[in-house]
Amino acid sequence: MTADPSAALLLSRELPFDVVRRDRDSRLQRIRAGVYLRKDIWVGLKPWERYRMRVLAVARTWKAPVFCLESAAVLQGLPIFGEPAHIHVLSADGRSWSEGDVVVHGSTDDRKVSDAVGHCATSITETAVDLARVLPPAFALAVVDAAARILAAGGGSLDVSAHGRSQANRRGVRQLDWVHARATAESESAGESVSRAVIEWLGYEEPEPQREFFYEGVTDRCDFYWRRLRIIGESDGYGKYDAADPKAMKAHFVREKQREDRLRRHEGGFARWDWGDTLRFEALDGKLRDAGLVPLYPRQPWLLSTLAHNPRSAVRPTGRQPRVERASAR
């Protein structure tokens, strides 16, 4: 892949006499009418990377599109869960319509537009509010946490409840209130954000986020800490090391083992889980219990059931964490 992913796209209009041959070339993947990508690149892309390519293909073939919802999010570095089914664009005249996999959204509200890596998109605040209305609640929380973190880095803040309620659109306002009450710029990954929601729905007490410990001359920061029981929780991500570099991978695991052993020597318990454990919430529940935690409140089965499927995605969001960079390495 090049530094600019859109540069890898091949457009028929740029080589009009090659259109038929491209349609028949087994080495090319058709992204949309008149837009292709080398198949060896396409098959190596993760679902959200494929979605970004589809968004960039629209950017190259439509006249001045303004992206919104997941299409804005994928350009702004916000989490994407699976591969969204549609490309989302704001309407220039207030009408809503669709063309193939592109949905054009009309709105009676004034929408703030900003630059997103050279493309026009709704602002990060607008994007976060739009997605928080329609995504399953844990995924909505992850998007708002990431948006709050980006805005906080520039000295800004985010109140999705107030912003959403100031708009004429009344869809999902209760979910906006729920998300706002739990959102934090301290969360460093989508995995942490979704884990917080699942921990609450399983009935556990709320942990402290991003707690620092000073033991044996070393500073360690952990994702979650239950002070009353002195139990540490860690939501493992996929961006802490370069998986293509075996030496870096080995060094990462050595550091993590040393870190975990150090913390176990001084604290009461340690639980570690990954993205799959979080979505399969029984696995996370088992690991929390094994570490010494006991639920204090009733489970919320309906909310837990929303983890099973993202209706806006063509690909179920399992296996790897959604695309979003951690705020800092440990």
Q: Per-residue pLDDT tens for 192-235?
A: 999 999 999 999 999 999 998 898 888 888 999 999 999 999 99
User: Among residues of the chain, what percentage have pLDDT more than 90?
Assistant: 70
pLDDT band at 120 (very low <50, low <70, confident <90, very high): very high
Backbone torsion region of residue 47, taken as left when φ is above 0, otherwise alpha when ψ lies between -120 and 50, otherwise beta: alpha
Model confidence at 276: pLDDT above 50? yes
Report the C-alpha dihedral over residues 320, 289, 250, 46, rounded to 10 degrees. Answer: 0
Per-residue pLDDT at 229? 95
- Output 201 or 262, whichever has higher pLDDT: 201
pLDDT band at 184 (very low <50, low <70, confident <90, very high): very high
Distance, in Å, from the CA atom of 29 to the CA atom of 282, rounded to the nearest integer, reads 39
Which residue matches tokens 């600019």?
Answer: 4
> Any idea which of 188-197, 228-237, 318-327 has the lowest mean pLDDT?
318-327
Q: Is 58 exposed, middle or buried (0-12, 13-18, 19+ CB in 10 A)?
A: buried
Q: Could you give the strand order of the β-sheet that contains 113-116, starting from the edge strand earlier in sequence? A: 97-99, 102-105, 87-90, 66-67, 119-122, 113-116
Mean pLDDT of 146-171: 96
Distance, in Å, from the CA atom of 95 to the CA atom of 97, rounded to the nearest integer, reads 7
Per-residue pLDDT at 258? 79
For the stretch 66-75, pLDDT in tens is 999 999 999 9
pLDDT band at 239 (very low <50, low <70, confident <90, very high): very low
Which residue matches tokens 């991500």?
Answer: 237
Which residue matches tokens 């301290």?
Answer: 186
Measure the CA angle with vertex 232, ends 227 and 237; round to 5°: 140
For the stretch 11-50, pLDDT in tens is 877 765 555 566 667 888 999 988 999 999 999 999 999 9
How far is residue 107 from each of residues 34, 93, 114, 210, 255, measured CA to CA in Å? Answer: 30, 9, 17, 39, 50
Per-residue pLDDT at 205? 97
